[in-house]
Every structure is written in C-alpha cells, then in structure tokens.
Structure 1
Amino acid sequence: MTTSLMRQPLLIDMNGSNWSHFRDVPPADTEGVRIYAVGDIHGHLDHLLAMQAAIAADRAQHPVERVMIVYLGDLIDRGLHSRSVIERVIAEQNAADETTKIICLTGNHDAWLGEFLADAAVLPLWGRKGGLETLASYDFSPEEILRAMADPIAAEVMRLALVARIPQRHKEFIATLLLSYQQGDYFFAHAGVNPDRSLMEQRKEDLTWIRDRFLCSGKDFGKVVVHGHTSGPRVESLPNRINVDTGIYATGVLSCVVLEGARRHLITVDRGTLRALREQQMETQHG
C-alpha cells in the first residue's frame, strides 16, 4: 500500500470565520459506526477501484465491527467509464455482508441520467456537462451524441435507444439513489443544505445543487453536513461541514473522509498513486 493511500489525520479548521459558537458544541459522533465518505467520482473507474482497495486495506489495518461506505453522488459524467463505475458500485452493494452498509446518494449529474431516460429535452444541457462521456460509455458514438444534442428528434431516438440498451439494474440503481442520509451527528447530501430550512425540510434542488448560501454559512445545521458537488484543491474540514469533492476530472484526486467517533481522517487517490499501483502490479506479474 503506497503512503498516500494510508489514512492521514484530518483536523477541524477553526480559522477564518467566527466559529466561537461551536467551541461548546460536543464533538460529532458516529454512534459506533466507522464511515467512509467518498467524494465525486465522475466516471473515473481506476480511482474508484484504488479507493475501494484502500478502504479494504484500512479496514484490515484498523479492524472495526461496523462500517458504512457513503458515495456522495456524481458517480457519472466527465470521465470515460461511467457505465463501469455504476456496475462496480452495484457489485459492491451486492457483495456487502452484515458488517458493511453501502449508501449511494444522487448528485445532479446522476439525476440528469435519470431525467434523460424519461425526457430527451435534457440532452443539450446534460451532454455539454458530461453526459456525452456517459452516453459514450453505453456505446453511442460522439458523432451521434452531438447530432442528438442539436436535433430534438434525434435526441428522442437516442433516449429510446438508451432505454433499451441500459441494463435494468442500472435503471433501478439510478432510480433508487438517496437524496440524503443521516448517521449519528452527521448528515450526508451531495451538494449541501439550505441554511434556512431544517434538515428534515430540505428540497431536492438544495440537496443536489446548492452552493454559495450553504458554503458561506457558519450556521450550526444541527449535524455536520458531509457533501461534495463544489470542487476545491483539498478537502474542507470545518466545524459545520466537510467538503469531500477534490475535483477529480481536473485534479486527478479522489478523496475519502473517514469518520469514527469524534475523529476525522483522510484517504486520497491521485494520478501518482495510480501509477505506483500499476508499477507494483507489473512487478508482481513479472516476478
């Protein structure tokens, strides 16, 4: 296991904004469960496989009775292997035993796929934002995708073709993704929450799309919100929220926050670690 795949301590950043109202708040707790929260994957299969291996190695090195793995949404789009990413996460769900719970949230990109299966009108926008790569992973050519993006009739033909082509298990997976999940003192959502609503009153558009109103808020939301959606150069670990999206399609970095009791740790997979893993595999194959 390369060094960058090993867990690193993740401190809570109390600098900058006025966080004084959090100083007397008890540390967030996971109620006896270790949580691995994985940021936006965006069709990057190699990063996903390396992260799953890193989580398995972390569990072996730090045994625990119960584990929850949370995928924070945007499994698809932008990267070249969206279909394979969906297939791999479904396989992980099917293989999970009683010690492991797999939670998959819907991101705005995942929602676009579901919307396109019902309405071809979403294609021009979705295609420009990464849908082209997802459709290509289901064996549509770039030329026919671009033609469909410009022609409503061709878009409807492509929608019907995808409905027929996409595996039923993928349709069911996309249709049953969760908008949010709670465990202990943590609340998981793809984009975040509306600071003006309680956690129980959040709307789909906020949970999958919100940015500045949430990101700029120093409010105690009642639970620590763990999210992705808004990419940055590093994981943000704040008193009221944790942003796990490190912009994989631009930076080549996939991040995972490990939450256990009141402790936070970080596991990352980057292009360098992928190269090191490939070299290790080649050395093993050649003795």
Structure 2
Amino acid sequence: MIRNVFRLLKRKSADAVPAPSAHVPPGEVVYAIGDIHGRADLLAEVADLIAADVAASPDLKATTVLLGDYVDRGPASAQVIETLSRRQFPTEIVPLRGNHEQVMLDFLSDPDVLDQWGSFGAIETIASYGMDARLVTRDSDYSQIRDAFALCVPASHVAFLSSLPHFHVIGDYFFCHAGVRPGIPLHLQAEEDLIWIREPFLNSDERFEKMIVHGHTPQGRAEFLHNRINIDTRAYQSGRLTCLRLEEGDARLLTPAV
C-alpha cells in the first residue's frame, strides 16, 4: 500500500505525515513524468522503462501524464516537443502545460517577453531550433529575434503547445505543473497558479480534495507528503528524470532494474 511505499522511499523529514490512501481506477496504471527541460535523452530512457513495465502488465490500461516544462535549460527542447507532439510514446499521453511553455508562447506573441524568458532558458530553446543563440543579447532587436524564431518553430509545435491543458484528474490524483492555491476548490483553480505557484502551496498542510502530483519546484529526490507528490528532480542538471507509477492504491518510482 501507499504507506509502505512512503516509508521505503524515506520521508522528507522525520515528522512527515504518511499519505492518505489514494487510488487510480482498477484495471489502470498511470505514469507521471516530471520536468524534462530539453533532456530528450532522458525522456527516451523513461519511455523505454514504461514500455517494459507495460509489457509486463499488458491487461492494464496505461496512461502517461507529463507535468510540463518540456523546454528550456537542457539542449534538446525542439526534439522533446517533436516527440510529444507526434505522440511517439509507448502509452497514451496527457501532456500538461508548464510555465516554460507558457513563456515560450508568450514570446511568440510579444517580443518583450524575451527579457523574462532569457533569464531561464530561452537561449537553449532557441538554439535547439537551429538559430544562432549568440545573436540573442540585451542589445538585440527582440522583434527580429521573435520573427526569426517563429520561422524556425514548426506550426505543429505551436499548435501542440497551445493545446496543452493545465491539469488532469485520474481517480484520487490531481496532476498539474506547479501546484494549487489552498482554500480554493480544485475545479476553480486559476490557470496562472497551476503553472506558477510555489507558496503558499508548498508549505500548506491542507488535505486537498485529491492527492496533488506536481513538479516546478526542483528537489534532490521525489517528495512524498501527505497532500502532494513532487517529482521535479532537476533533470536537466541532475540527469535524473523521475517517473511515478500509480496502480490502484500503490505509488512507487519507476526505476531501472538493478
């Protein structure tokens, strides 16, 4: 059961509260993948792990929820988007929107967004689409950079990013990129909070209507708390892209066989 899993994974602190029972529907298995940030290589490795796991349980309906932040920081944002937009994956996928995708879309509409985007990943993403990132400086003409970038990004990528939902629900789990605002029903959460919030969500002891599975705030290892599970393990830097496996009342990390 999920309590035993939490003990095995070593709680974040000695006084961490064991999670309440949370389930996905019988006959289903759900995989959740944390922030990818341009690491197409790690996404391919996780896809292989999921494919092997699915093959071992062929009777289960399998779904993979990706928690957003596919672009920026790592070297292969364009490749990640190409893979996901073509649905090249071993299971049905539900890709969610992260704040980095939102800022990329905002830049395509408003060149001045480059001031913000440039501080957390624009250079790597622009380079992944074949542009010379050395041209991007504070003295650059942002409109020219936006126009050149827009010519490099396939229309299918823009359509894919524009279509991404902000959350997804399966059974007792609520999946989103960043988290939720305490005190607000899950169905009334603001889109901005779902992709940007840190506090007051991260320090909240509130038992939400469902278990929140999120990324956005990187940690050295996955966090299993009584009201949320954080699976952002800074893949672009650590080389660890975390995948959570959920089946009925069981939650565990999907890792390579030793």
TM-score, structure 2 length as denominator?
0.90
Deviation digits for residues 53-92 of structure 1, max 9, x if unmatched?
Answer: 1100111123333111011000010001000010111222
Task: Specify the alignment match of 1:47 in structure 2.
Answer: 42
Which of 120, 125, 128 is 2:119 aligned to?
A: 128
Map of 1:132-211 to 2, 5 A cutoff?
A: 132-146=123-137, 149-151=138-140, 154-211=141-198
Give the CA deviation at 1:203: 0.8
Alignment RMSD: 2.2
Task: Specify the alignment match of 1:28 in structure 2.
Answer: 22
Give the CA deviation at 1:145: 1.7
Give the CA deviation at 1:263: 0.1
Give distance in 2, aligned partners of 1:150 and 1:194.
38
Give the CA deviation at 1:17: 5.1
**Larger Rg belongs to:** 1
**Identity rate of aligned residues, in percent?**
39
Map of 1:1-287 to 2, 5 A cutoff?
A: 10-11=5-6, 13=11, 16=14, 19=17, 27-32=21-26, 33-92=28-87, 100-146=91-137, 149-151=138-140, 154-268=141-255
Deviation digits for residues 23-72 of structure 1, max 9, x if unmatched?
Answer: xx5x2111132110000000011101111011001111233331110110
CA contact (8 A) 1:86 1:170 kept: yes
For residue 101 of structure 2, give the secondary structure of its aligned residue in structure 1. Answer: helix
Count of residues in correspondence between the two structures: 251
For residue 205 of structure 2, give the secondary structure of its aligned residue in structure 1. Answer: coil
Give distance in 1, aligned partners of 2:12 and 2:215.
20
Give distance in 2, aligned partners of 1:267 and 1:261.
15
Give distance in 2, aligned partners of 1:131 and 1:242.
28
For residue 31 of structure 1, give the secondary structure of its aligned residue in structure 2. Answer: coil
Aligned partner letter, 1:105 = L
For residue 120 of structure 2, give the secondary structure of its aligned residue in structure 1. Answer: helix
Q: Which moved more, 1:100-109 or 1:218-227?
A: 100-109
Deviation digits for residues 168-226 of structure 1, max 9, x if unmatched?
Answer: 11010110111011111000000010012110111122111111311111111110000
CA contact (8 A) 2:12 2:224 kept: no
- The verdict on how the C-alpha distance between 1:18 and 1:164 changes in structure 2, with shifts beyond 3 A counting, is closer
Give the CA deviation at 1:239: 2.1
Give distance in 2, aligned partners of 1:171 and 1:195.
32
Q: Which moved more, 1:158-167 or 1:53-62?
A: 158-167
- The verdict on how the C-alpha distance between 1:81 and 1:60 changes in structure 2, with shifts beyond 3 A counting, is same
Aligned partner letter, 2:33 = V
Aligned partner letter, 1:194 = R
Unaligned runs of 5+ in 2: none
TM-score, structure 1 length as denominator?
0.82
CA contact (8 A) 2:95 2:164 kept: yes
For residue 182 of structure 1, give the secondary structure of its aligned residue in structure 2. Answer: strand
Give distance in 1, aligned partners of 2:16 and 2:125.
42
Give distance in 2, aligned partners of 1:19 and 1:195.
18
